[in-house]
């Protein structure tokens, strides 16, 4: 990280001070030129990995996330003979470990919390029904492995991972599996692909809001970058479904909120997610 | 689905029948507490500001290290699952925002939380952990900006919104909310809400939870008074 000019030096020493001086000079814009409610440019790439059943790459400004969906055959657990398994794994780049964060354990923790959030959303919003993953009851089920590789972390991983998941699921094709009646072994026909059935009605999308305190009031920074996440007092995640029902609200501690602030953030989240859906359906 | 606010025969005493607490069960630690909320029981202990082990990290603030250990045996492995890590990270932000970190530069506190029993779902255990954490910090005499209390609320398909739900109700519910209130203005410090709901239900849930939080603060006061007399 170069600290050649005065600005970089100030950022390195005290990020908070740098933000405050920037907001003092330019009213209502963040250092990367956006207004508080603007999001970064989004780029979507579909179906570009040849070995996965479904894949997508999402870019929110500098944050790049690749989602890849693969499946493995497994025997179902005795508790529920018809349901398959879903496993979400988020991998953050180890190359960023020493320069920006300073502590590798923190990154590993962030991976795990994000993985758990995504799994919770899949279950709670009934995006993928575990019964759909069944091939033959009691014998073979699909174990869905959803991997998120983050190539560059510039903040707002939650939104990008969830959008990547939606895009990837849209274009996932599974090979057909038939059970050989003689040997009871599964035969996988890799050329006969069929579209993965999932609950397309729900499209959980997330809005991350970083709350920053400036001049005694809260500024809501939508789609925060990594620096903004570090200086934020608290971070809010709103996950909304297609019919504007809320699937998940996760607020970390730091800035006490009253009910009207939740309403305010909800309205921001709705507009933002509306735009994301438009992008998704293009 | 009925969305009525259910005033389930709640007078002051019945709230206190769901809560039990024991301060300083572990004498060797700087502070510790055991807290029961309905059917969930948690213990937490703090080892007070001590020497910082790692060289990196904030030199002008306190370093907080939280470990959460769920009940071994629920999942087949011994290691902490991702769900536990999520809880740990959430609680860490809670500690970071309440403790006056500037008072202890170059020091570290270690917080260990044990979930001893959890028969109901996620809402009760989360709330139980938050309350245990607050009581432990009060017991350890850490300088805090405010005390906080967590209230679990679930949305039952037939009974509507229930606060401090019993095990049977919680296992049958579709969505849950956990609000952490702070004592000064009764504002919401942190939330974790999951399920399928909209803002009206959230508002109702918050309005049910606020008076209950006040009663939990009263409970803290009672417990601490018992200890000091």
Of B56, B148, B191, the CB nearest to A251: B191
Residue owning tokens 């993928």? A128
Beta bridge partners of A221: A210
Domain boundaries, chain B: 20-228
CB contact under 8 A, B82 and A119: yes
Read off the pLDDT band of A105 (50, 70, 90). low
Residue A256 has its nearest CB partner, among B54, B188, B195, at: B188
**pLDDT, average across residues A96-113:** 65
Longest dimension (CA), chain A: 77
Report pLDDT digits (tens) over B136-165.
999 898 899 999 999 999 998 888 888 888
Distance CA(B82)–CA(B87), nearest Å, equals 9
Contact A258 B188 (CB under 8 A): yes
Mean pLDDT of A83-96: 80
Give the A:B interface size as CB pairs under 8 Å: 102
CB atoms within 10 A of CB A109: 17
- B193, A253: Cβ pair inside 8 Å? no
Report the pLDDT value the prediction gives residue A1, as an integer from 0 to 100. 53
Q: For position A68, what pLDDT does the model report?
A: 92
Give the best residue of A256, A257, A273 to mutate against chain B (max B CB count within 10 A): A256
Distance between CA B143 and CA B23 in Å, rounded?
Answer: 17
Q: What DSSP state is assigned to residue B146?
A: -
**If you write DSSP's letter for every residue of A113-163 in order, what string do you get?**
HHHHHHHHHHHHTT-S-GGGGEEETTTEEEEEEEEEEEEE--S-HHHHHHH
CATH architecture of structural domain B20-228: 2-Layer Sandwich (3.30)
Question: What is the rounded CA–CA span in Å between residue B44 and residue B66?
Answer: 10
Low-confidence ranges of chain B (pLDDT < 50): 1-12
Whether residue B196 and residue A247 make contact (CB cut-off 8 A), yes or no, is yes
Q: Rounded CA gap, A234 and A220, in Å?
A: 10
Interface test mutation site (partner B, options A89, A252, A273, max chain B beta carbons within 10 A): A252
Write down the pLDDT at residue B79.
Answer: 62
Confidence of residue A81 (pLDDT cuts 50, 70, 90): confident
**What pLDDT, on a 0 to 100 scale, did the predictor assign at position B2?**
41
Say which CATH architecture domain A42-195 belongs to: 2-Layer Sandwich (3.30)
Give the closest of B85, B185, B188 to A112, CB-based.
B85
Q: Tell me whether residues A251 and B56 touch, CB distance under 8 A.
A: no
Which three-class secondary structure state does DSSP give residue A13?
helix
DSSP assignment string, A64-114? EEEEEEEEEEEPPPSS-TT--EEEEEEE--GGGIIIIIS-HHHHHHHHHHH
Contact A81/B at CB under 8 A? no
Local structure of A246: helix, strand or coil: strand
Q: What ipTM was predicted for this assembly?
A: 0.85
Partners of B195 on chain A (C-beta within 8 Å) are 124, 247
Show me where the domains of chain A are located: 1-31, 42-195
Measured in angstroms, the CA of A15 and the nearest CA of chain B are apart by 14
Which residue from B minimizes the CA distance to A262? B199
Check: pTM over 0.90? Answer yes or no: no
- Where are the strands (E) in chain B, listed by range? 19-23, 31-37, 40-51, 62-69, 107-118, 148-156, 160-163, 175-182, 188-197
**How many other C-beta atoms lie within 10 A of the C-beta of residue A263?**
13
User: Which of B190, B197, B198, B210 best tests the A interface by mutation, with the highest count of A CBs <10 A?
Assistant: B190
- Residues near B14 by Cβ (< 8 Å), separated by ≥ 6? none
């Amino acid at each position: 990280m170069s600290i050649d000019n005065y600005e970089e030096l100030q950022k390195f020493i005290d990020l908070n001070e740098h933000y405050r001086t920037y907001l003092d000079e330019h009213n209502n814009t963040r250092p990367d030129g956006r207004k508080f409610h603007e999001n970064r440019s989004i780029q979507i790439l579909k179906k570009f990995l040849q070995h996965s059943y479904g894949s997508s790459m999402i870019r929110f400004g500098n944050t790049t996330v690749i989602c890849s969906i693969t499946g493995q055959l497994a025997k179902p657990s005795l508790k529920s003979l018809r349901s398959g398994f879903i496993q979400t794994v988020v991998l953050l780049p180890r190359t960023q470990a020493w320069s920006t964060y300073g502590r590798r354990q923190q990154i590993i923790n962030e991976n795990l919390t994000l993985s758990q959030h995504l799994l919770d959303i899949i279950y709670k919003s009934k995006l993928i029904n575990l019964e759909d993953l069944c091939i033959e009851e009691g014998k073979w089920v699909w174990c869905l492995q959803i991997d998120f590789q983050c190539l560059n972390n510039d903040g707002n991983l939650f939104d990008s991972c969830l959008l990547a998941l939606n895009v990837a699921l849209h274009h996932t094709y599974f090979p057909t599996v038939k059970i050989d009646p003689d040997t009871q072994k599964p035969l996988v026909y890799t050329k006969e692909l069929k579209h993965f059935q999932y609950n397309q009605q729900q499209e959980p999308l997330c809005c991350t809001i970083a709350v920053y305190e400036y001049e005694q009031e809260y500024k809501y920074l939508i789609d925060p970058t990594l620096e903004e996440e570090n200086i934020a007092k608290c971070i809010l995640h709103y996950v909304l479904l297609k019919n504007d029902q809320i699937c998940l609200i996760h607020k970390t501690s730091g800035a006490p909120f009253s009910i009207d602030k939740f309403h305010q953030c909800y309205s921001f989240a709705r507009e933002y997610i509306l735009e994301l859906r438009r992008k998704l359906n293009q | 689905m009925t969305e009525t606010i259910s005033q389930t025969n709640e007078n002051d005493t019945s709230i206190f029948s769901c809560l039990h607490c024991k301060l300083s069960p572990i004498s060797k630690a700087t502070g510790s507490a055991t807290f029961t909320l309905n059917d969930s029981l948690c213990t937490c202990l703090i080892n007070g500001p001590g020497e910082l082990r790692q060289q990196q990290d904030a030199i002008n603030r306190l370093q907080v290290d939280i470990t959460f250990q769920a009940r071994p045996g629920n999942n087949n492995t011994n290691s902490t699952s991702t769900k536990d890590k999520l809880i740990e990270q959430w609680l860490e932000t809670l500690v970071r925002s309440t403790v006056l970190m500037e008072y202890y530069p170059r020091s570290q506190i270690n917080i260990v939380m044990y979930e001893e029993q959890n028969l109901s779902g996620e809402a009760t255990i989360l709330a139980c952990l938050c309350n245990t954490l607050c009581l432990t910090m009060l017991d350890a005499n850490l300088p805090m900006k405010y005390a906080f209390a967590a209230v679990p609320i679930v949305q039952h398909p037939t009974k509507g919104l229930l606060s401090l739900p019993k095990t049977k109700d919680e296992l049958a519910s579709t969505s849950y909310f956990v609000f952490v209130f702070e004592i000064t203005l009764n504002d919401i410090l942190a939330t974790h809400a999951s399920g399928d709901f909209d803002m009206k239900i959230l508002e109702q849930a918050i309005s049910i939870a606020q008076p209950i939080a006040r009663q939990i603060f009263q409970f803290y006061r009672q417990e601490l008074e018992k200890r000091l007399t």
